[in-house]
Amino acid sequence: MKYISTRGQGGAKSFQEVLLAGLAEDGGLYVPAELPRFDQDKIRSLRGLPYNELAFEVIQPFVAGEIPDAKLKGMIDDSYTTFAHEAVAPLTQLKSHQWIMELFHGPTLAFKDFALQLLGRLLDYTLTERGERAVVLGATSGDTGSAAIEGCRHSDAMDIFILHPYQRVSEFQRRQMTTVLDSSVNNIAVQGNFDDCQAMVKQCFADQSFLPESSGKKPRLVAVNSINWARIMAQVVYYFHAALELGGPDRAVSFSVPTGNFGDIFAGYIARGMGLPVDKLIVATNRNDILHRFFQSNDYRKQGLEHTLSPSMDIMVSSNFERLLFDLQDRDGNALAEQMATFEETGKLSVSEQRWQKVRELFDSSRTDNQDTCDAIKVIFDRTGYLADPHTVTAIRALEEVATDRRTPNVVLATAHPVKFPQAIEQAGLDAPKRPHHLKDLLDREERYEVLPNDLNAVKRFIQNHLT
C-alpha cells in the first residue's frame, strides 16, 4: 500500500512514513494511492467477528508488508481490551429504522479512543523499531487531547504536547487532559479558538527547525489529529461493524455523523469506497456550519466562530475536507493545491455544479443551534429514555430533517458520553449523569497546564523548554 499527498508533490510514501509524518511536506494530507476493495462475499464473510478481529481484517490491507500480521493483531487486540463494553461499539435501537452506535466506551469516553488507542501503539512500535524519539503535537477542540494522551502516555519514545483553546472546552474535557501529571505530558491552553490552535500545529509541522537536537539526533514531530491517516483508517472499522450488524452487505445503511473536522464521516466515505454499501452520509453540525453550507449551497467559506453547547464541533475550517476535495478534483493534486491556495487567500471556495451535484448524491447535512440542541436532548430522553450528549443529538435531529429511505437502517454515531457535557444536559432540564467509577474523583484531581498567548513563538519556546 502506497500513499500520496492531496497536493500532488513528494511522491508515493509507505504506511510508516505517513504514520510518522502526519502532514505531507507540501501541506497536503496523505491518502491511499488506491483503496483496497472488498467484494460482497468478502464483506459477508466478516459477519459475526468480534470487533478486534473485524478491525484486523479491515486495517491489515492499509499496513500490509510493513508491520508483521501477528504484531499488528496484537496491537489491535490490546487497543480494544481497554473498552468497558464487550461489544466495543454497541448498537442501541431508538426507532424501527434508527440505531445509535455508541462510540464512547473507551477509556476517555469519546470516539477518538477507537483511533488513538491504536495510533499510540503503532507509533510506539515504529519509533522503537527505528530507534527514534518523537514529539507528539496536537490541537483539540475537546476530545482528541485526552484520547491522544491516554493512547501515547505509556511510551518512553514520545513527549506529548496538546493545545486546547483556553476556556472553550468543557471542564470535564479539560480535566481529562490536565490531571495526567506524567512528566512527558504537556497541556497548553491557548488564548484563542480551536482554529488558532490547529493553525499553530500546522505551522510547526511546516517548519520543524525549532526542535533541538539531543545526543546528535533531532526528535521527529508526529501528528495525532485526524490529519494523520492512521486515525481515519481505524475509524473505518466501525462503519463495517454497524453495517454487518444490520444486514450488510445485503442491504445498504445510512449514517448520521456529528462532525466539525470531517474526519469521522470521511471514514464512512472510505468504507463505501472499499465496497461497503452505504446509502447516505449525513453531516450534522452546530452553528459553526461551514460543512452544512457547502453541502446545501456549494458555499465553503470561513465565518466567525461561535461558542456552542457542542464545543468539539466549534471549528471554522474542516481539516479533513481537503481529502474529499481531492477526489472531487479527480485526484489532481496540482488542481487541488491551486484551489487550497485560493481558499487560504480568500477564505472561500466552491466546486463546479457538476461535481457538487455528484457529491450531493451521497452526502446531506443539517445544522442545530443551542436551543434546538437542548430541546432535542429533552424530547429524545422523554420519548425513549435515551440520554444523548449535545454532539450526538445533532445527528439524531438531522435524521428528522433529512429525508432517508425508511426501509434503510439509519445509524447515528454517538461520539461522546453525556457525562462530559453536564452544562448542556442541565440546560435541557435534566439531571447531569453520574461519572463512571474510574473518573468519579476527576474534579478533585490536581491539574497542570500552561496558559499561553495566541502566539506561535510562545508555543515553540514552551515545547523547547519542556522536552524530556
Report the CATH number at residue 247: 3.40.50.1100
- Residues of the domain holding 341: 86-107+229-427
The answer to whether residue 306 is domain-embedded is yes
Reply yes or no on whether 2 is catalytic. no
Report how far residue 96's alpha carbon sits from residue 395's, in angstroms, rounded to the nearest whole number: 17
CB 4 within 8 A of CB 29: no
The answer to whether residue 140 is domain-embedded is no
Please state, in angstroms and as integers, the Cα–Cα distance from residue 101 to each residue in 153, 168, 257, 386, 398, following that order.
28, 27, 10, 12, 15
Read off the C-alpha cell for 288: 459553526
User: What's the pLDDT score for residue 215?
Assistant: 66
The answer to whether residue 143 is domain-embedded is no
User: What's the pLDDT score for residue 468?
Assistant: 83
The SS3 call for residue 32 is: strand
CB 432 within 8 A of CB 425: yes
Residue ranges of the chain with pLDDT lower than 70?
215-216
The answer to whether residue 327 is domain-embedded is yes
Report how far residue 439's alpha carbon sits from residue 375's, in angstroms, rounded to the nearest whole number: 28
CA 149 to chain centre: 15
Q: Which of 443, 448, 447 is nearest to 432 (CA)?
A: 443
Q: How many domains does the chain have?
A: 1
The answer to whether residue 80 is domain-embedded is no
Read off the C-alpha cell for 267: 471514514
A 10 A CB-CB count for 443 gives 12
Amino acid at 212: P
The answer to whether residue 309 is domain-embedded is yes
Residue 227 backbone phi and psi in degrees, to 5: -65, -20
Q: Which of 344, 80, 106, 334 is nearest to 202 (CA)?
A: 344
The answer to whether residue 168 is domain-embedded is no
Which one is catalytic: 112, 202, 280, 420?
Answer: 112
- The reply to whether omega before 212 is within 30° of 0 (cis) is no
pLDDT tens-digit map of 349-397: 999 999 999 999 999 999 999 999 999 999 999 999 999 999 999 999 9
Q: pTM for the whole thing?
A: 0.94
The answer to whether residue 394 is domain-embedded is yes
